[in-house]
Structures are given as structure tokens and as C-alpha cells.
Amino acid sequence: MRIFGVVGWKNAGKTGLMERLVTEITGRGFSVSTVKHAHHTFDVDHPGKDSHRHRIAGATEVLLASRNRWALMHELRDEQEPTLAELLTNLSPADLVLVEGYKRDDHPKVEAHRAETGNPLIAPSDASIKAIAADVPLQADRPVFDLNDTAAVADFILVQVGLSSANEEASRSAAQQHPQPPPLRNDCFALPPGVDWTPVDDALSLLKQRLHPITGIEALSLAEAEGRVLAAPVTALRANPPHANSAVDGYGFAGGVPDEAPVSLPLMEGRSAAGVPYEGEVPPEHAIRVLTGASLPVGVDTVVLDEDVVVGAGQVAFRGPLKRGANTRKAGEDVQESATLLPAGRRLTPADLAYLASGGVAEVPAFRRLRVAVISTGDELVEAGSPAASGQIFDANRPMLLAMVRRFGFEALDLGRMPDDRAAIAAAFDRGAAGADVILTSGGASAGDEDHVSALLRERGAMQEWRIALKPGRPLALGMWHETPVFGLPGNPVAALVCTLVFARPAMERLAGGNWLDPVGFDVPAAFEKRKKPGRREYLRARIRDGRAEVFPSEGSGRISSLSWAEGLVEIADGARHINPGDPVRFLPYGSFGL
């Protein structure tokens, strides 16, 4: 029987890690059973139940059964507590048994550790602890994982018990080479005391200051790295070009020609071609055939173009002037060896891959792709294509948000539509926290009777309702659910899109390890008139025609057609403004948000 344990002090995160590991490992197709060591006074039965009456009457064992499950309760009474080994004989065969507690037994374990508890590590004095899962970076004599990087911890356990592949072992080793980021604090979304309406720039500044990467790190080949975020700076392993070489097809010689005097040089036998350099040395006042990209032979520092020479009778003739070094590339003129090619936080483009390869880089440290769970809420929602009853509408937000998440370079997890039922939404949040790094919801973010998203987060004591001074959008519920950040977007599709682009997108990029992203805008003449009152930022759905920004005829936030009609947003600052046709306005193309 394969056994692996999870241990740690009280409130160290053991049970949460166990729960996530069961979800992760069973999701990979393995069967998992669990054992938990509990306080001696625990009870799984309840007074008044028939099974409880059987036990009180004196039954040694009570087997409670239904068509969904069965449970066997054994009363020890005056018997000695059985050992873990004895208890394991009661379990049916499974691929893996995860054990919470029993820290004094000698089976292999991972220690869960939260710095805020103030307790010391158990690992230094216990060789059976094979790894540590912590919420802060640690230096230790064994692997250290981010407490929330469930996939990496699962990789390690499966390797230890012999259920893993060689590829998983390589991925685990790569993750160990880099420090893993800590989780977010529960108060990371808290507003300063006394803040009610929050200006857009202040809200963005708070998010920028408080968010940090939360995903684990892995080593990727260049073939796998496009679109991923670098977790550390990458340096060149070799200069580019590694040797001085020719920029053209021509003839190489030493020194320039200062004037237009005719020059005739003896032509050496042989040539230097790309990948096939000339191994000999070219004497002074001699020339040799050199092709584009070829290393310059010893004795050559200048190349004259094919079109500018006459070749015959073993001589090459041409006229100056020609500067020393003409038509050549110096060694390292593009990249010097050991120079930093790209910084941490950069999302890799195809051009970046070429740049890295030119410096001899074959593998890069990258953050794991951010997993974003998307949930729509509301009794009024039905799936497009399904029959819609009176008062129901088709769910437009979820397909839009899932597509946006993928466009941003993240992994999208569709958790479906949830009715206005607190228990159902809480269960969806649990699934999202177990399988994703971020939860993105639409609807239920305000303070009404059916706004269950904000109510659930408020119950957990880790919710902040940000009343953003913008149009459209205003209510934005931000909170933590099982240490997973939740962005509660408005249910209105126009407001949901605007809040995602302006707030959720740069925040999620930062959580994914990337740099904070500010959209690049352009000042263009307006093709419309608008009077705006002071007090909040406005975003108008707009597009460019004939070099001017035109806006959708209606500003109604229920006009979903406007999102498809538009090519971006016109941003109007917080103060009062009267815009006339021809006045400059700030246009933010959808492309500048990553769409």
C-alpha cells in the first residue's frame, strides 16, 4: 500500500492541502483514500440517531449503510488505540492513501507550514518529512513548495510513491530550482479606512501595490514557452554573432581603401562560407571569397561587395573608398555573452523565442499558467440554445469571459451557471478554489437580496466591495475564498467587460507573474458630442472611422450589441468635460488590453 502523509502544527493548512491533493491526484486518474488522526473526543454520530442508540446500548461495531455510502463505527471502549498500520488494514485497495496527522510515524510526509502561526518547522528534526509546503520562501535541506502550488506537491508525492512519470520528475526538479511565490494575504483587497467611492486610478494603484505572483515555477523548453511569463531574468549563454562575420557575399581583405584609387589584390584559393569557415590565414594585401554569414578568416576585417568587383587572372579588382570593417558584423554586436536577454515578468512572444535561441538558450524558468475559474450567477440565466422561460435570458457573460481569459494567455476553467442559491454558489467556489488560482464571477457582486457572491465573501470575513467611481461598472466585489482570490464582476455584460479589461486583466497578469499592464491609448479627434459631469471615469464603446473616434449611439449598459460593434473604448477622465466634434479624446483599442 502506497502511503504519504501531511503533517504540521495547528492552523498550518494541513486539511486544506489534503483536500486539494485529493482533488488534484484523483483528477489525474488515481484512486485515493484518506486517514485523519483526530482528537480523542471526536464523534461522527449524533445523539438521537438510531445508530447512536445502538452504540450507547453497547454495540462494539455499528455498520450504517445506504445506497450512497456505508460507514463502520468501532467503539474502542477500554481497548488500546490501534496503530496506523493496523488501521490501514481496514481500507479497500487504492492507488494511494493520504494520511493527515500521525506525525510520529515513520511513513514519508510533507509538512504544511504557515509563517503567521509562529510555530517552528518540524522538518529539521524529522527525516521522514521529505518536503515542505509553505506560504513563505524558505531555505531548507529538502524541497520547498508553495503551499498553494498543489500540482507541484502532487507531482512530488507521486514521484516518491512510484506513481509518477519521468517527465513529472523533471518538472518537479525544475520547480525546485526557483523560489516559489507565497500566497496572497487575506487583507490584500482591503481599502484604507474611510474610503467609500474609489477613483479608478486609486483602485488600480492599490491592486498594483498589493498583488504579486501566486503560481508555481517550472522549466520549459523554447518549444513550450510561447505566451508564458518568465519567472527569472534570462542571460545569453553565448555571444551573437559568436564570431565576426560577413554581412554580404563578396571578397574579404585587411584594411580599408581611403580614396577612389583602383585596387587589385591576389585572390586566395578556397572560401569562407556560413558553417564552413576558412581555416587558414589570409596574408596582407590578399583577398579571399567570403559568403554572407561566414566567419571572417584571420587576416580579414573588411568585405567588398560582389557587385563592386571584377575577378580574373587570379586577381580581384575594385575601387574605394571603403572603410575598414565595411560589410561585416562584429562578434557580439547584437548580444554579449552573459548579457541579460529578457527580464522576469515578460510574457514571451515568438520574436522573444528567436532572441533567446540566438543567445544559446534552450530552456527558461516560467510561471505555471494561471488557472481562472469562471462562474455566472442568476436564476434568470439559461444556456444559449436552451428553451428560455418567461423572465429568463441567455447567459452572455460566461462565454465572453472564458474567451477573454484564454486571450489573456491564462487557462480557463468553466464552472457553469449557478442559480441564486448560496449553497450552490459556495460549492462552486469550493471547486474553483480546488482547481484554479483565481475565481472570476459575474452577477451578485452588489448588496441586494440576491447578491450571494458578495454575501458569501462577506461571511468569510475577506470581502471588500469596491464602489469604483466609473461608468459602467461601479460595484466590484473582491475577496478570498480558501486563499483563492475572487473577482466579483457586475452582472451587466457591458460593465463586466469594462471591469475585466480595466481591473481584472492587469490584476490577473500580475498574479500570473507578469508585469502590471497599462493599456496603450491614442489621442484622436472625436466624431461625437458629449457633456460629462464630474466625479467618475467614463468608458464609451467606440471605434475609429476616417481617423476619428465614433461612439455607439446609446450608452445603455444593456446594449450587448455595442460590445461587438466597438473596436475599443474612449476613456474620459474624472472631471467635468464638454466634448465637441474634433476635440481630442483618448482611444484605447481592444488590442491594447490583449483582445
With CA atoms as reference, report the closest residue to 405 among 429, 436, 431, 440. 440
Query: How much is the pLDDT for 522?
Result: 93
- pLDDT at 317 (0 to 100): 95
| Position 450 confidence tier, pLDDT thresholds 50, 70, 90 | low
In sequence order, what are the residues at sequence separation of 6 or more whose Cβ sits closer than 8 angstroms to the Cβ of residue 154? 21, 24, 25, 28
Residues 6+ apart with CB under 8 A from 377: 417, 418, 419, 420, 425, 441, 442, 443, 444, 452, 453, 491
Instruction: Give the percent of the chain with pLDDT over 70.
Output: 90
Distance of CA 62 to the CA centre of its chain: 49
- pLDDT of 197 reads 67
pLDDT attached to residue 179: 57
- Residue 84, pLDDT score: 86
Per-residue pLDDT, 414: 93
Q: At residue 508, does pLDDT exceed 80?
A: yes
pLDDT > 50? residue 390 = yes
Burial group, residue 559, by CB count within 10 angstroms (0-12, 13-18, 19+): middle
Structure confidence by residue, pLDDT tens digits, 352-378? 999 999 999 999 999 999 999 999 988
- Average pLDDT, stretch 152-164? 86
pLDDT tens-digit series, residues 161-192: 888 644 444 444 444 455 556 666 544 444 44
Whether the pLDDT of residue 87 is over 60: the answer is yes
pLDDT of residue 318: 95
| Contacts with 344 (C-beta within 8 Å, 6 or more apart), sequence order | 230, 231, 232, 233, 513
CB 302 within 8 A of CB 253: yes
Predicted local distance difference test score (pLDDT) of residue 187: 46
**Residue-level pLDDT at 294:** 95
Q: Stretch 204-230: mean pLDDT, rounded?
A: 89
- Least confident residue range of 323-327, 447-451, 452-456: 447-451
Q: Are 432 and 439 in contact (CB under 8 A)?
A: yes
| Greatest mean pLDDT range, 49-63, 368-382, 450-464 | 368-382
Cis peptide before 181 (omega within 30 of 0): no
Inform me whether the pLDDT recorded for 94 exceeds 90: no
Domains of the chain: 3-40+81-176 (3.40.50.300), 216-238+337-367 (3.90.105.10), 245-329 (2.170.190.11), 371-511 (3.40.980.10), 522-593 (2.40.340.10)
- Name the band, by pLDDT with cuts 50, 70 and 90, for residue 501: very high
pLDDT (0 to 100) of residue 171: 46
pLDDT at 462 over 60: no
Task: Give the DSSP H or E segment for 87.
Answer: helix 84-88
Phi first, then psi: what are they for 275, rounded to 5°?
85, -10
Peptide bond into 283 cis (omega under 30): no
Residue with cell 436564476: 379
Question: Which residues, in sequence order, are bridge partners of residue 439?
Answer: 373, 486
Q: Quick one: pLDDT band at residue 49, thresholds 50, 70, 90? A: confident
Could you give the residue ranges of the DSSP H alpha helices within 262-360? 350-358
The whole-number pLDDT of residue 189 equals 45
Residue whose entry in the numeric block shows the C-alpha cell 490501534? 82
Specify which of 26-40, 133-147, 560-574 reaches the highest per-range mean pLDDT: 560-574
Could you report the per-residue pLDDT of 510-537, keeping only the tens digit for each? Answer: 999 999 989 999 999 999 999 988 888 8
- Note the pLDDT tens digit of each residue in 317-327: 999 899 999 99
Q: Is the pLDDT of residue 152 over 50?
A: yes
Q: What pLDDT digit, counting tens, does each position of 262-272 carry?
A: 999 999 999 99
Closest CA to 461 of 444, 441, 479, 434: 479
Residue 67 — very low, low, confident or very high, per pLDDT cuts 50/70/90? Answer: confident
Q: Is the pLDDT of residue 42 over 50?
A: yes
- pLDDT at residue number 287: 96
Amino acid identity, position 259? D
Q: What are the tens digits of pLDDT across the range 523-574?
A: 999 999 999 888 888 999 999 999 999 999 988 777 899 999 999 999 999 8
**pLDDT at residue 460, rounded to an integer:** 62
On the question of pLDDT at 19 being above 50, the answer is yes
pLDDT at 451: 61
Alpha carbon distance 316, 243 (integer Å): 25
Task: Provide the pLDDT for residue 301.
Answer: 96
DSSP per-residue codes, 4-43 = EEEE-STTSSHHHHHHHHHHHHHHTT--EEEEE---TT--
Q: What is the pLDDT of residue 446?
A: 53
d(CA 119, CA 9): 7
pLDDT digit string (tens) for 279-309? 999 999 999 999 999 999 999 999 999 999 9
Distance of CA 281 to the CA centre of its chain: 53
The length of the chain is 595
For residues 290 and 270, give the distance between their C-alpha atoms in angstroms, rounded to a whole number: 9
Q: What cell does 91 get? A: 481500507
Q: Provide CB contacts within 8 A for 86, sequence distance 6+.
A: none
Task: Give Dmax (Cα) for the chain.
Answer: 119
pLDDT of residue 541: 94
Q: pLDDT band for 79, please (50, 70, 90 cuts).
A: confident
Q: Which residue has the higher pLDDT, 250 or 429?
A: 250
* Beta strand 522-525 pairing with 584-589: antiparallel
Mean predicted lDDT score pLDDT of the chain: 86
Query: Cell numbers at residue 104, please?
Result: 510520529
Are 341 and 236 in contact by the 8 Å Cβ rule? The answer is yes
Query: Residue 92 pLDDT more than 80?
Result: yes
Cα–Cα separations (whole angstroms), residue 450 to 378, 453, 480, 527: 8, 9, 20, 41
